[in-house]
Amino acid sequence: MHSLSGSSGNGSNQLYHRFGLVLVPNSSILYIADTYNRRIMTYLLNATSGSVAAGGGHGAGAGSNQLCYPYSFTWDSSSTSASSWMLADGVTGISGNTSIHLVNPLSRVLDPMGNMNVADINNRRIQIFLFDQSDGTTIAGVTNLSGTSSTRLTTPYWAILDDQLHLYVADTFNSRVQKFKRY
């Protein structure tokens, strides 16, 4: 699909420890989380180089044009191209276990109503942030309590929704995927 340079680096035809990847529906546009280059790249399918969509060249930090280690991202069809970001959930640079905080959030998924489900790994829970709200509600797991019972999550690395809005959580260190019926 891509003939990038084959070596890692920060050129427009290179990536460095990339993680997330999204193909925009009905298009030939691909976004890649170029994690260790602290940037999100965008490519046309089959192109040999791409361009920076977010972060990149601004160093690590909490500024609105910076990213630290972007592991994954969600593409929202209403987004326009912008060179800086707005905070969607959590508190920049501060972790915690309250309803507004997150600890090492990894994946997130938007439902069709615009609510964001966030895998809040080190709080061992999945939080839902209703559209435009900064206060989240726990919909799976128990805040900062690990365990193997059906209501607990130990390391919820990834969460996805199916088309009926049932939630599937990869509870990685428990070696299982938990299904939670539609909220």
Which residues contact ligand NAG (rule: CB under 6 A)? 28, 45-46, 95-97, 103, 123, 143-144
| Closer by beta carbon to ligand NAG, 46 or else 48 | 46
Are 29 and 42 within 8 A, CB to CB? Answer: yes
Question: In the complex, what is the shortest distance from the CB of residue 173 to ligand NAG, in angstroms, rounded to a whole number?
Answer: 15
- CA–CA separation, 180 vs 169, rounded Å? 8
Question: In the complex, what is the shortest distance from the CB of residue 178 to ligand NAG, in angstroms, rounded to a whole number?
Answer: 20
Residue 43's contacts (CB-CB under 8 Å, 6 or more residues apart) are: 2, 29, 30, 31, 32, 49, 50
> CA 17 → CA 35, 56, 69, 96, 147, distances in Å?
6, 14, 10, 27, 31
- CA–CA separation, 138 vs 123, rounded Å? 10
Question: In the complex, what is the shortest distance from the CB of residue 82 to ligand NAG, in angstroms, rounded to a whole number?
Answer: 26
Question: In the complex, what is the shortest distance from the CB of residue 137 to ligand NAG, in angstroms, rounded to a whole number?
Answer: 16
